Amino acid sequence: MAQPPEVRDKAFAEFVLPEVEVLLRVAMTLTAQPADAEDLVQETLLRAYRAIDRFDGEHPRAWLLTIMRRAEINRHRRRRPHLLDDPDADLDRLTAGDTVASPEEVVVGEGFDEVVGAALAALPDKHRQVVRLVDIGGLSYAEAAEVLDVPEGTVMSRLHRARKRIRTQLAAAGVAPKPKRSRM
């Protein structure tokens, strides 16, 4: 049951407000820009205020840092690249230029998302599922194994193979270093 606003405000002032400075310091380590850190702290404070009536009063810093971590994960998920509609056209456009781009330009450039999407789309379904669950969805190996109803070692093996194929395709497209040859 929701608490009256006075009780919520008192709990917020007692447990959350003393931790704002710590939250800002941690947010600065999680983000590259002060404005992003402030946005992250604000999102954390809003979430904490909404959930303060469910907080037991123990370990407020840990509770707030967990909220912050989850808020940051959600911010990254919203920025995920979109998968492609026509990977061949974008790949041709990306590889047609004669200029050498810096690593930052390659990652931020228009074609990078498309090349990554094409590499993901080219994977066999069982490998693509594992990449989506672990690398994109943030699940642990054990959680992905449970979802797919396979052993954890199978998830690890599929993920290794999928990442290797993606690296090879990114290197072929010129947006990643060439893979090193195995010594075996």
Q: What is the pLDDT of residues 108-140, one digit of tens each?
A: 555 677 888 888 889 998 998 888 888 877 788
40 with 100, same domain?
no
Mean pLDDT of the chain: 79
Residues 6+ apart with CB under 8 A from 40: 27, 30, 31, 68, 71, 72, 75
Residues 6+ apart with CB under 8 A from 4: none
Nearest to 167 by CA among 180, 155, 182, 158: 180
153 with 122, same domain?
yes
53 with 91, same domain?
no
The C-alpha atoms of residue 92 and residue 23 are separated, in whole angstroms, by 45
The confidence score (pLDDT) of residue 162 equals 92
The confidence score (pLDDT) of residue 169 equals 85
Number of domains in the chain: 2
Q: Is residue 181 included in any domain, yes or no?
A: no
- For 165-182, the pLDDT digits (tens) are 988 888 887 776 666 665
pTM: 0.44
Question: Domain range spanning residue 73?
Answer: 5-78
66 with 110, same domain?
no
Task: Tell me: pLDDT of 98 over 50.
Answer: no
